[in-house]
Structure 1
Amino acid sequence: MLNGTPVTGLAATPTGDLVVATGAGDLETHLVLTDGTRTWDNADLAAVTAADASDPTWLRIQAAVNNIRG
């Protein structure tokens, strides 16, 4: 657990960045969400409704979830 949130995946990139996947909970206030070029904060993630194949998987999933929520 990281900050009380279950972690489903944890890895480090060759450049030393930490990659975390969670199954539940909210770590967004403690982590920087990035694809290496752009960053997203909570407001950005709540508003995203479009993503393409060049976007990270987590952003494509977030866009799909936001579309379902309406």
Structure 2
Amino acid sequence: MGLTVEVLDQLEVCNPQAAANAALKENSAIALIELLEILWTCGLESANTVIDATLLRLQQLRAMR
């Protein structure tokens, strides 16, 4: 849940790049999937940057399995 709070805080202050960077550093696929679910439904235009980063990080984690 910490990742979600951090990302939403960054989006609230209009810093989608910092939010995306937080997603790219996450190692928990569960946290990333939860974040993705929230971002997908939140309707913020700036969320698209973080959605892309989250999907990329999930692909990276999958490749490391």
Report TM bin, short chain. 0.3 to 0.5
More strand by share: 1
Query: What is the TM-score when the length of structure 2 is the normalising length?
Result: 0.37
More helix by share: 2
Greater RCO, 1 or 2 (C-alpha within 8 Å, sep 6+): 2
